[in-house]
Amino acid sequence: MIGVRLVQRVSSTRAFAKVAPRVVPALDRAVHRLTRGKVLLSAQMLPGVILTSTGVRSGLPRRTPLACMPEEGGGSWILVGSNFGRTGHPAWTGNLLAHPEAEISWKGTDVPVTAVRLTGEERAAVWKTLLVFWPPYATYQERVDREIRVFRLTVRGRGLGD
| pTM confidence score | 0.76
Superfamily of domain 2-155 in CATH is: Electron Transport, Fmn-binding Protein; Chain A (2.30.110.10)
Digits of tens for pLDDT over the chain (162 positions)? 455 665 566 666 666 666 666 666 666 667 656 666 665 555 556 788 999 999 999 999 999 989 999 998 888 999 999 998 889 999 999 999 999 999 999 988 999 999 999 999 999 999 999 999 989 899 999 999 999 999 999 999 765 444
Cβ-count burial 8-23 (b if 16+ within 10 Å, e if not): beebbeeebbeebeee
Q: Could you give the strand order of the β-sheet that contains 61-67, starting from the edge strand earlier in sequence? A: 61-67, 48-54, 101-106, 109-117, 149-155, 76-81, 69-70
What ranges do the domains of the chain cover? Answer: 2-155
